[in-house]
């Protein structure tokens, strides 16, 4: 079996499910823990895993890059795809297997099909996107709604085995399918394949408007009116939307990206959205310029001291620039990089194909311009209160705004048990941290975790999370997920010897070390079996069933 070294660790590259079962068998025999890697977009997780274990059990690293087959059933309008297939081309794939032509979205479009929801980028693998519960900016469509079946290879009482969860025809939300079709974080086993329903391919048309917050077409901090909808109403009425808020004093800008689907036409001429100005027909020069600018800001004043030394002249220049940066310099800088719409031109119009237009951030390189964030999902009916809470917080100090933006999305309600949108439409607050900053991003995020905890936020599983042993860690998560214990029961049944519980997720979810009890046989999973087990467990510990 082939392997590849990435960041100093060895990743195995199985070619098929037989290879996966062999790796699972070997890991169990050796007392190893399996760690899975897709596109590595879940940067805090991957960085932690690749630094090695802390528990004493060694890690076995796996990438499914060779398991990227796509099988489209035209008659039934479905696709079955292996977990290692990338949604789109991944330019940073260390195996260099990912291409445009073997990506899922390209093949769907060529066959005349689509999925109605995509995130801001499409580097991710199918398994990674599903396992972290990722979503695009819409309350009208959901990627998870299209899932019809998911299959995992795990280690059961009969050794390595494959278990498939299929969407119940009844739609019963208590069915174990809804534990498996959303976030599983690699803790159910190796997600080897998934089947999706498809829709006819479509195009999108939309615009990007950049205004001050006061002149925004959305009533960002109020309940709205006939002329200016409130944010909740806007997100419910707009098919696809993303807001980028620059909340600094003297800036106070809002960038609105919104789009709607239109029928695919043979004579359609795309006019793609450009997130940054294209120079020599490429976004790279502008991206590099932005990287240099924000690196200079983020590493201030260390680079100035390196250049001038710890001298009196250095301290004079440092204090002069420091005192004028936020009130004077930053607004002028952002007038260049985030210009307001010209009165005689208005918003920037665009139109594009579904699979290249919906991922509006895909043209930006997350290597050339690294952006890290924590993403907090809050019930959408709290949007007005959340925005006012953030606005008050931002106005209190430049240390709260820093020099970057805050992204605001929405997402559709989900029946998936550990989806952050479980049974509620949500507003999503993405707190950005430029990756080249000095300092600890979690110290900055902590301010927002504490600020928004009263709204019972649920964090995106693939982004930065509060520490598992903190007040907003594992016990807090249990309190905001009604199906938490039921999900853990199914996880335990699939992986009784914890072949898939790495140190990161053990700490984040508060998963205890494996017990010596005999493993449960899940070779023939049925909803009734798990309902009985869960009901028994709840009664044993005096808990009410959900």
- What local confidence, expressed as pLDDT, does residue 75 receive? 98
Q: Given pLDDT bands bounded at 50, 70 and 90, which one contains residue 208?
A: very high
Q: What is the pLDDT of residue 527?
A: 41
Model confidence band, residue 157 (pLDDT cutoffs 50, 70, 90): confident
**Mean pLDDT on 23-36:** 97
Segment among 375-379, 428-432, 500-504, 527-531 with least mean pLDDT: 527-531
Report residue 545's pLDDT band, with 50, 70 and 90 as the boundaries. Answer: very low
CB atoms within 10 A of CB 280: 6
Contact 159, 22 (CB under 8 A): no
Q: What is the 3-state secondary structure (H, E, C) of 323-381?
A: HHHHHHHHHHHHHHHCCCCCCCCCCEEEEEEHHHHCCCCCCCCCCCCCEEEEEEEEEHH
Contact yes or no for 146/109 (Cβ under 8 A): no
More confident residue, 408 or 41: 408
d(CA 458, CA 478): 10
Least confident segment among 126-130, 308-312, 362-366, 474-478: 362-366
Share of the chain above pLDDT 90, in %: 85
How far is the C-alpha of 412 from the C-alpha of 427, rounded, in Å? 9
Alpha carbon separation from 253 to 117, 220, 334, 464 (Å, rounded): 27, 11, 9, 26
Q: Does residue 34 contact residue 24 with C-beta atoms inside 8 Å?
A: yes
Binning pLDDT at 50, 70 and 90, where does residue 163 land? very high
- What is the predicted pLDDT for the residue at 282? 87
Question: Cα dihedral angle (323, 325, 326, 330), rounded to 10 degrees?
Answer: 170
Provide the Cα torsion 432, 232, 459, 511; round to 10°: 180
User: Which of 60-74, 308-322, 410-424, 465-479 shows the lowest mean pLDDT across its residues?
Assistant: 308-322
CATH class of 203-278+344-465: alpha beta
> Does position 518 have pLDDT exceeding 50, yes or no?
no
* Inter-residue long-range contacts of 519-526, CB under 8 Å, 24+ positions, other chains counted: 519/156, 519/157, 519/493, 520/156, 520/157, 520/492, 520/493, 520/496, 521/156, 521/157, 521/158, 522/154, 522/156, 522/163, 522/493, 522/494, 523/156, 523/158, 523/161, 523/163, 525/163, 525/165, 525/176
Q: What confidence tens digit (pLDDT) does each residue in 219-272 have?
A: 999 999 999 999 999 999 999 999 999 999 999 999 999 999 999 999 999 999
pTM of the entire structure? 0.91
Query: Which strand (E) or helix (H) includes residue 114?
Result: strand 113-114
CATH T-level fold of 65-200+476-496+517-540: 3.30.465
φ and ψ at 72, to 5 degrees?
Answer: -100, 125
Name the pLDDT band for 515 (thresholds 50, 70, 90): low
Share of the chain above pLDDT 70, in %: 94
| pLDDT (tens digit per residue) in 420-449 | 999 999 999 999 999 999 999 999 999 999
The tokens describing 17, both together, are 């499910």
Residue 273 clears pLDDT 70, i.e. is over it: yes
* Per-residue pLDDT band at 358 (split at 50, 70, 90): very high
Distance separating alpha carbons of residues 290 and 131, to the nearest angstrom: 32
Q: What is the pLDDT of residue 364?
A: 82
Q: Domain boundaries in the chain?
A: 65-200+476-496+517-540, 203-278+344-465
Q: Which residues of 382-405 are buried (b: 16+ CB within 10 A; e: fewer)?
A: bbbebbeebbebbeeeeebbbbbb
pLDDT band at 366 (very low <50, low <70, confident <90, very high): confident
Q: Does the pLDDT of residue 39 top 90, yes or no?
A: yes
Average pLDDT over residues 182-199: 98
Query: pLDDT tens, 69-128?
Result: 999 999 999 999 999 999 999 999 999 999 999 999 999 999 999 999 999 999 999 999
**Alpha-carbon distances of 361 from 14, 301, 341, 514, rounded to whole Å:** 31, 30, 20, 41
Res 543 pLDDT > 80: no
């Amino acid at each position: 079996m082939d392997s590849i070294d990435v960041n100093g660790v060895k990743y195995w590259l199985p070619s098929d499910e037989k290879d996966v079962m062999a790796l699972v068998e070997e890991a169990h025999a050796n007392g190893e823990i399996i760690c899975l890697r897709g596109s590595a977009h879940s940067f805090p997780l991957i960085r932690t895993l690749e630094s090695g274990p802390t528990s004493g059990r060694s890690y076995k690293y796996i990438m499914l890059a060779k398991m990227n087959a796509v099988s489209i059933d035209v008659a039934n309008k479905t696709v079955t795809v292996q977990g290692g297939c990338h949604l789109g081309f991944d330019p940073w794939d260390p195996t260099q297997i990912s291409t445009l032509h073997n990506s899922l979205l390209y093949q769907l479009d060529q066959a005349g099909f689509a999925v109605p929801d995509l995130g801001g980028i499409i580097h991710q693998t199918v398994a990674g996107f599903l396992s972290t519960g990722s979503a695009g900016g819409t309350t009208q469509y959901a990627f998870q709604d299209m899932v019809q079946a998911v299959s995992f290879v795990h280690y059961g009482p009969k050794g390595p085995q494959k278990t498939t969860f299929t969407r119940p025809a009844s739609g019963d939300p208590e069915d174990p399918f809804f534990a498996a079709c959303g976030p599983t974080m690699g803790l159910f086993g190796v997600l080897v394949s998934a089947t999706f329903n498809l829709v006819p391919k479509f195009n999108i048309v939309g615009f990007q408007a950049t205004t001050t917050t006061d002149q925004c077409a959305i009533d960002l901090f109020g309940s709205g009116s006939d002329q200016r909808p409130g944010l909740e109403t806007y997100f419910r009425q707009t098919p696809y939307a993303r807001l980028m808020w620059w909340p600094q004093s003297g800036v106070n800008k809002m960038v609105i990206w919104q789009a709607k689907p239109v029928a695919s036409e043979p004579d359609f001429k795309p006019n793609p959205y450009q997130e940054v100005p294209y120079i020599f027909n490429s976004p790279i020069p502008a991206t590099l310029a932005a990287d240099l600018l924000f690196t200079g800001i983020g590493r201030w004043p260390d680079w100035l001291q390196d250049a001038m030394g710890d001298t009196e002249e250095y301290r004079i220049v440092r204090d002069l620039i420091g005192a004028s940066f936020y009130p004077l310099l930053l607004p002028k800088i952002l007038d260049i990089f985030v210009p307001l719409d010209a009165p005689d031109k208005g918003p920037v119009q665009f139109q594009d194909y579904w699979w290249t237009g919906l991922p509006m951030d895909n043209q930006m390189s997350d290597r050339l311009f690294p952006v890290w964030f924590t993403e907090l999902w809050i019930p959408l009916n709290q949007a007005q209160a959340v925005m006012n809470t953030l606005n008050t917080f931002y106005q209190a100090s430049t240390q709260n705004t820093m020099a970057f933006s805050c992204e605001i999305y929405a997402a559709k309600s989900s029946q998936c048990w550990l989806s952050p949108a479980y049974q509620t439409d949500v507003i999503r607050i993405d707190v950005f941290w430029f990756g080249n900053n000095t300092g600890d991003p979690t110290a900055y995020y902590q301010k927002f975790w504490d600020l928004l905890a009263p709204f019972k936020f649920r964090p995106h599983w693939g982004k930065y999370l509060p520490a598992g042993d903190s007040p907003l860690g594992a016990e807090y998560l249990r309190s905001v997920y009604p199906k938490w214990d039921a999900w853990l029961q199914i996880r335990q049944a699939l992986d009784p010897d914890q072949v898939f519980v790495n140190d990161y997720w053990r700490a984040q979810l508060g998963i205890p070390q494996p017990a010596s009890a005999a493993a449960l046989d899940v070779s023939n999973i049925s909803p009734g079996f798990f309902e009985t087990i869960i009901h028994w467990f709840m009664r044993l510990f005096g808990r009410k069933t959900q």
